Amino acid sequence: MCNLKPSEPFEAFEAEAITFDIMPNPLSGGALRFEAKQRMIDRAEGFAIREAYLVGWWWLFIPGATGRYFEGLQKYEKQLAANPIPRPDLDTSNLRHRAEICINLYARTIQQFILRRLYTATVMASIAAVVVSFLAVWYSRR
């Protein structure tokens, strides 16, 4: 079975995401870094779109080609499930925030592959319809 390998920038972003800290720098103090987490999630969306459009269109129709992305999604879902929310610090679990960012990265990437597959199939069907219509008109005038 053919699997697409995530690109180097995608893997670099994942490596950055798995080292994300929700806690602020102890020297600077301050609130939890939810804005930074949201920026990471926004960047994940960009990487997902980039990843889906880097591959040739034929890869979209190979069964199991996106298997590594599904494996990554499952890996981080298991990580999230294995790290229950600690009490009383509900939002301070770095592992949960890292898993959420990576789940978003992989889920959005899979979503972008599916959307691109649908767009490509639609374009191919439209072109086929135009060709069939042209041939029908051409043969009717003969």
Evaluate whether 100 touches 80 at the Cβ level (below 8 Å).
Answer: yes
Q: Which of 18-22, 31-35, 42-46 has the highest mean pLDDT?
A: 42-46
Question: Given CA atoms 96, 102, 106, 111 in this order, what sign does their dihedral have?
Answer: positive
pLDDT per position as a tens digit, 36-89: 889 999 999 999 999 999 998 888 889 889 999 999 999 999 998 887 776 656
pLDDT of residue 88: 59
The token duo for 137 is 């008109």
> What is the percent of the chain where pLDDT is above 90?
61
Q: How far apart are the C-alpha atoms of 1 and 3, rounded to whole Å?
A: 6
The per-residue b/e assignment along 15-31, b for 16 or more CB within 10 angstroms, e otherwise, is eebeebebeeeeeeeee
